[in-house]
Amino acid sequence: MPIELTRRDALSALTAAGITSTAGCAGFSDRTADASPMETLVGVADVLYPSEVEVTEEFIETFMFGRITDKEVYRERLTAGIETLNELATNEFGSAFLGLAPDERVSLFEETALRSGDSVHDGGDIEQVNYHILDELLFAFYASPKGGELVGNPNPRGFPGGFGYNPGVTQ
Amino acid sequence: MNETQSGEAQSSENLDRTPVEDADVCVVGAGPAGALLSYSLAKRGHDVVILEAGPRFDMEHRVDRMKLQIHPDRGVNEVWDMGGERDAYSMSGEQDWPLNKRRVKGVGGTSLHWGSVTPRLREKDFEMESRFGVGKDWPISYEDLQPYYARAEQEVGIAGPDNAPHQPPREEGYPMDPLPNSASDDLFAEAAEALDIDVQSMPMAINTGKYDRNQCQGYGTCEHVCPSGAKYTAEVHVEKAEAEGATVLTQTPVQRFEHGPDGEEVTGAVYKTPDGNTHTQEADVFVAAAGAFETPRLLLLSESDQYPDGLANSSGTVGRYFMQHEGALVIGIVPNQETYQGAYGPVVSSGIQQFYEGTAERGGANIMLLNTSDPSLAERAIDSSGFGDDLLETVNLYGNSIGTLNSVEMLPREDNRITLDRSKTDNHGNPVPDVQVEAGEFSEKGTEKAIQVGKDLIEEMGGNVAFVQGTTTDSDEFIEDIKGGYHPMGGTRMGTDPDDSVVDPNLQTHDLDNLYISGGGVFVTGGAANPTLTIMALSLKAADNIHGSLAG
Ligand SMILES: Cc1cc2nc3c(=O)[nH]c(=O)nc-3n(C[C@H](O)[C@H](O)[C@H](O)COP(=O)(O)OP(=O)(O)OC[C@H]3O[C@@H](n4cnc5c(N)ncnc54)[C@H](O)[C@@H]3O)c2cc1C
Ligand code: SF4
């Protein structure tokens, strides 16, 4: 029987691990330009995550920002990354990322080096988006009980869901 | 101040790194060997100073280091900032190891990186020559080391089975109950029963609750970083030593030892600091605990007019009889069987010790059953270029894998050795270590046996063997994980005869009265047990002797 981890369980796991004391109020929802970085992240996660998942700000606050240590440094990377993303969107479809229709968002991923290009922490603009935004979002999801459960693993590596999981496999 | 790969800043300039006055003991290296010895001596009132080449890593950034490990494009060496000129090396023999993925420089040493599998050696390991006519007997027996094993297990906090078969005699139980079985342990155990093979819990240095550090939280990334601190690292005993008054000077690579005019004693350890200065630490006793790759190099770099072949090397054996455990990996797919890899937490919880004994022709094998025989979900996701539902499908391709990882005995050979490569220098202009290793038939036969056991088990459970590598694979084809270097041993071996060994049974060098060596380098033969618990036991034994000599 798979363990159903609630958000509270997840938070307490991350807090017990000493890696998030302020999850849920990390302040990444501040409005900066037209849209908040968080809104853009939710939009990007919608493309990255499986369609059956409904992405929430809360999820990203908990599972992504909960495991980012240097939040100030990350905020700068995020701002730069979102700028790159908006430039790409504007070049392809004439609008910032959040202004794109769902199928345009998918096309943007298909037609640029987002995901398919290299992912380098100090690389070129798109390489940095891949590393600091897309890979972080994927880590947040596939190293969380929510992502893990979709493939039968409620405690994927990278998530501190306790030790000893064994649902019983032998007769 | 440099920002490192993990984002952790190494602020180094403003620490006081001047030598400690009136030190009793100077320990070079803050890995398990140096840490336990330092604590054991500091606790008894001796003034200990530890010189450590690497930095002190903070706990806060472990989660970033864990993410480096999971990221498919980041190398294992990046997890703990290894590499570059500081860590340059050569490999000129048959085997080519990625050395900077096999060691860590910093407080805790390579135990920051380790898997925390902690079996003891067996009685026969100390008597390979008299029992099988191969290798060489140790000058001490299992019984001599037994009380120190018990102390090391208590200090470190080992979860292990008290009454399992194929274990050497125990005087008391393990400090903690063994880890529970994982799903793959159960699958192996069921198949093993049909084949008359015993699957048993593996002793692991992981806190399941009793010890004064976080309890295991199931990140499943123990090797190469445990973000919770549940996995033992030697940081624990470095900090305990500091609490007892020891001083740790980080980022102070020792360049050489200096000796007095009569050549009987070491007088100082010459070290560099990040600001470019050179200092000399004086002490009554010196302990080289710089790991089995760097300790022989340090002795060779300490050559002098009196000792042109290096310090403590009158036997000519410094660097020789170097060993590792030959590795082998067997991965299988069990159709329609979810194996829950990566969901359990610790990378290993059980093993097979039945083939540990080996024969005169074939090395013994310590078979570890993997709980993480496939890449993590996040790593697979990031590695793929897909997204959305397609990506989920890619990630979901795994799920039925199972595997064994094997550690197999290799015999000591005179020509397997560490020398100086004088054509290449590190950031301080010192020649780098050159490692030359050839496996030999004894360990090849041992890996064949271990691989066969793994294959039989996987087939017995209805699985298909998907991937096999071991010493018999052409080493050019080795995947990186199987390339060796995990368990370096030998190179400064122990013995009673000063003509063919470097240290005596108390780890004191034959040549210099106040110089000791602690670490895997002193092993005479390697057995098949992961070496670190034995390293710890030996270092506690050496500490007792040093205490006696200082008190007297
Ligand atoms: C990936 C991996 C997994 C492992 N898993 C296991 C396992 O499960 N079980 C097991 O028993 N063993 C395991 N090992 C082996 C284990 O890590 C070593 O046996 C152990 O760390 C050796 O301890 P040590 O103190 O002798 O050396 P180290 O831990 O290597 O420490 C040596 C220290 O000395 C310092 N140093 C070096 N040169 C100098 C110098 N010139 N001046 C000052 N300081 C210096 C280094 O910076 C380092 O901090 C593993 C190793 C690796 C790489
Ligand atoms: S499984 Fe346990 S020991 Fe391993 S990394 Fe996670 S918390 Fe640490």
> Which atom of ligand 2 is least distant from the CA of B229?
8
**Strand partners for B401:** B333
A90 assigned to some structural domain: yes
User: B377, B380, B389: which to substitute to probe chain A, counting the most A Cβ within 10 Å?
Assistant: B377
Chain center to CA of B279: 29
- Structural domain count, chain A: 1
Q: pLDDT tens for residues B128-137?
A: 999 999 999 9
The CB of B253 under 6 Å from ligand 1? The reply is yes
- pTM tops 0.90, yes or no: yes
Asked if residue A161 has pLDDT above 70, the reply is: yes
CATH superfamily ID and name for B1-13+23-116+119-157+232-324+412-437+489-552:
FAD/NAD(P)-binding domain (3.50.50.60)
Q: Does B143 touch chain A (CB under 8 A)?
A: no
Query: DSSP string spanning B464-496?
Result: EEEEEESTTS-GGG--TTTSS-SS-B-SS-B-S
CA distance B405 to B373: 9
> What token pair was written down for B117?
């599998």
- Residues with Cβ within 8 Å of B482's Cβ and at least 6 positions away in sequence, in order, are B327, B328, B329, B469, B470, B473
Contact B377 A153 (CB under 8 A): yes
Asked if residue A28 has pLDDT above 60, the reply is: no
A52 assigned to some structural domain: yes
- Please give the average per-residue pLDDT across A91-104, as a whole number: 96
- Type and span of the H or E element at B546: helix B532-551
Residue range B164-223+327-409+439-484 forms a domain whose CATH class is: alpha beta
Helices of type H across B12-141: 32-42, 62-70, 76-79, 128-132
CA distance B471 to B475: 7
Helix (H, G, I), strand (E, B) or coil at A30: coil
Domains B1-13+23-116+119-157+232-324+412-437+489-552 and B164-223+327-409+439-484 share a fold: no
Asked if residue A170 has pLDDT above 80, the reply is: no
Task: Tell me the C-alpha to C-alpha distance, in Å, between residue A23 and each of A11, A59, B65, B174, B314.
Answer: 7, 10, 20, 38, 61
Closest residue to atom 6 of ligand 2, CA basis: B219
Could you list the residue range(s) of the whole structural domain that residue A101 is in?
3-19+27-150
Closest-CA distance of chain B to residue A40, Å: 16
CA distance B89 to B85: 9
The CB of B444 under 6 Å from ligand 1? The reply is no
A35 assigned to some structural domain: yes
CA distance B321 to B438: 11
Asked if residue B475 has pLDDT above 90, the reply is: no
A103 assigned to some structural domain: yes
Domain boundaries, chain B: 1-13+23-116+119-157+232-324+412-437+489-552, 164-223+327-409+439-484
Contact between residue B447 and residue B472 where contact means Cβ atoms under 8 Å apart: yes
Q: pLDDT tens for residues B399-413?
A: 899 999 999 999 999
Helix (H, G, I), strand (E, B) or coil at B429: coil
ipTM of this predicted complex? 0.93
- Please give the average per-residue pLDDT across B112-122, as a whole number: 98
> What token pair was written down for B180?
């529970």
- Residues with Cβ within 8 Å of A1's Cβ and at least 6 positions away in sequence, in order, are A167
When pLDDT is cut at 50, 70 and 90, the band that residue A24 belongs to is very low
Contact A50 B63 (CB under 8 A): no
Residue A134: closest CA among A76, A83, A57, A82: A82
Ligand 1: centre distance to CA B32 (Å): 7
- Type and span of the H or E element at B100: none
Residue A85: closest CA among A129, A118, A123, A38: A129
When pLDDT is cut at 50, 70 and 90, the band that residue A7 belongs to is low
When pLDDT is cut at 50, 70 and 90, the band that residue A6 belongs to is low
Terminal Cα distance for chain B, rounded? 45
Closest-CA distance of chain B to residue A123, Å: 13
Q: Which residue has the tokens 């990350």?
A: A74
- Please give the average per-residue pLDDT across B425-430, as a whole number: 98
- Type and span of the H or E element at A137: helix A135-142
Exposure string for A70-104, b = 16+ CB within 10 A, e = fewer = beeebbebbeebbebbbebbeeebeebbbbbeeee
A155 assigned to some structural domain: no
A120 assigned to some structural domain: yes
Q: pLDDT tens for residues B92-102?
A: 999 999 999 99
Provide, rounded to the nearest whole percent, the portion of chain B with pLDDT above 70: 98
